[in-house]
Structure 1
Amino acid sequence: MIDATPIVRLSGLRLDRGSRTILDGIDLEVPRGSVVAVLGPSGCGKSTLLSALTGELEPAAGSVEVLGAPLPRGKRALLERRKSIGVLLQGNGLLTDLTAAENVALPLRAHTRLPDPVIRRLVEMKLHAVGLRAAADLYPRELSGGMARRVALARALALDPPLMLYDEPLTGLDPIASGVIMSLIARLNASLGLTSIIVSHHVHETLPVADRALVIANGRIAFSGTPQQLQASDDPLIRQFLDGEPDGPIPFDTAARAMEAA
């Protein structure tokens, strides 16, 4: 159920990488319980936006509020806040010498003092939630791409964060695995009462699970509305992105995009 109280609020946000401004004038409110798709071409600043939400990148201007308060600047306070933010990394980030269960247990062992039997039970629950309880003793090299992504999702959920950030969750997955992941994200968001922000350039796979869609292009939010409004838009910039046209308001500049930490 969507709550009007924002879990994320960005005001007048400007984000720089070195001397280059990546995003500017970003205003955004994300209601609790919603699934928000942040779309845009590669190198437009989507992952930079996530870096601001986790406190990895400090704003050059403006403010970032997450979970009802500004992100703290101190390392210890920021680490404490991050426990309430789950992040599914683009490359999974699984440790290859640990089993699936051991990977999921990492946040619990690092951030809690729970006894081993409790941790093992929680790990079983998280793996069961993503449909991989039977894969607990498998190593990452023994998992398919879709299975590895689901293990990484179980690990991101280990501390029961109310806010989930997904950085290109479909990268490297085939259409079937992509459908499984997106369906799982939607189901977990509803059943666990999460709020999810999905950064992606996979428009057609992401929009069906989203309550709201943003398109980032040319350093700004070019569109904000429902998925239906996005698909009906006749804005040339939006149509270029949705239809995959090489020529239009969004320049294809590989040199500039290479500078973006995607």
Structure 2
Amino acid sequence: MTAADAIDIAVRLTDVRLDRGAHTVLSGIDLEVPRGSITAVLGPSGSGKSTLLAALTGELAPAAGTVEVLGQRVPHRQRDLLELRKGIGVLLQGNGLLTDLTAAENIALPLRTHTDLPRAVVDRLVAMKLHAVGLRTAGTLYPRELSGGMARRVALARALALDPPLMVYDEPLTGLDPIASGVIMSLIARLNATLHLTSIIVTHHVHETLPVCDRAIVIANGRIVFSGTPAELEATDDPLVLQFLRGEPDGPIAFDTAVRSEAA
């Protein structure tokens, strides 16, 4: 790998195996995510998408192979890992907003925890993040006063609080109606372009996600079964990938709830 390669690649996994206890969830995983791109990680429920996310953030150490994020191998030491995580914004599936804090206070939390910025500067940054997600006047609202789409955008603003170069979205469309889903996907694309981010979207919502992506991978049966552009994915004749895209219950992807619960 040359120095130029390291600069151009935000995430690299090489021959990675990921285990949960005695169960191997994913194996033989090779993946490169170019800087500035939007990559969709697709697959059925229980296929290992969340396990892959855990490896990117250092929550789960690989049983074999290497995971590199933002030019460095994901560290084991807690202090080094915390430093790396400052560069990774994560939008959680359930938003993770603190119910006793307002929207503005939720967004300010990472800034107050990880920086020594004066209150006036923090307040200004929070206002900028709220404006970036189209919620400039919602700062005084509590999570219970927000719609599902609004709460997701507040969570997104909080994930962006420390200006991370890498954003990871964990099922960003869960629980949202079609209009709110469209708003979120459009927002992800716009923020990626204007803030020069690299984004990884972990999801099973194929048709809503592909239009904003540069590349897509599909995980099934413990491995990557497709890697390419959205156009290449839509043109595939691979029966395993087609089963997932069409939502067919019968095919090479076994419907086995016991196995899937272990892989989740």
Given the two structures, how large is their TM-score scaled by the length of structure 1?
Answer: 0.98
Shift of 1:86: 0.2
Secondary structure of the residue that 2:137 maps to in structure 1? helix
Q: Structure 1 residue 85 and structure 2 residue 104: aligned?
A: no
- Displacement after TM superposition at 1:133 (Å): 1.1
1:60 to 45, 59, 63: 63
**Is residue 11–residue 63 contact of structure 1 (8 Å, CA) maintained in 2?**
yes
User: 2:24 maps to which residue?
Assistant: 21
Alignment of 1:117 onto 2:120: yes
1:260 CA drift (Å)? 2.6
| 2:228 aligned partner | 225
- Asked if 1:157 is matched to 2:154, the reply is no
Shift of 1:155: 0.1
Q: Could you tell me which residue of structure 2 aligns to residue 142 of structure 1? A: 145
SS at match of 1:133: coil
**Corresponding residue for residue 214 of structure 1:** 217
CA contact (8 A) 1:100 1:135 kept: yes
Aligned residues: 259
* 1:197 paired to 2:196: no
Question: For 1:12-45, what per-residue CA distance to the aligned partner results, in whole angstroms no more than 9, with x for missing partners?
Answer: 1000000000000000110000000000000000
Deviations along 1:104-124, one digit per CA (max 9) or x if unpaired, are 000000000000000000000
1:4, distance to aligned residue in structure 2 (A): 7.5
The alignment partner of 1:259 has SS state of: helix
For residues 86-113 of structure 1, what are the alpha-carbon distances to aligned partners after superposition, in whole Å with 9 as ceiling and x for unaligned?
Answer: 0000000000000000000000000000
Deviations 1:161-180 (A, max 9, x none): 00000000000000000000
Q: Deviations over 1:194-239 (max 9, x none)?
A: 0000000000000000000000000000000000000010110011
Q: Is the 8 A contact 2:7 2:71 kept in 1?
A: no
Amino acid aligned to 2:219: I
The 5 Å alignment of 1:27-38 reads: 27-38=30-41
Q: Is residue 11 of structure 2 the alignment partner of residue 8 of structure 1?
A: yes
Aligned AA (2:131): H
Q: Secondary structure at the match of 2:175?
A: coil
1:72 matched to which residue of 2? 75
Q: Which amino acid in the other structure matches residue 212 of structure 2?
A: V
Partner of 1:44: 47
Q: CA deviation at 1:187?
A: 0.2
TM-score after normalising by structure 2? 0.97
Query: d(CA) in 1 for partners of 2:147 and 2:256?
Result: 34
Q: Stretches of 4+ moved more than 2 A in 1?
A: none
Contact 1:4 1:31 in 2 (8 A): no
Aligned AA (1:184) = L
DSSP-derived class of the 1:9 partner: strand
Structure 1 unpaired stretches of 5+: none
1:178 counterpart SS class:
helix
2:180 to 171, 177, 184: 177
Structure 2 unaligned blocks of 5 or more: 1-5
Contact kept? 1:99, 1:137, Cα under 8 Å: yes
Counterpart selection for 1:245 from 208, 227, 248: 248
Q: Percent identity?
A: 78
How far has the Cα of 1:257 moved from its partner? Answer: 1.1
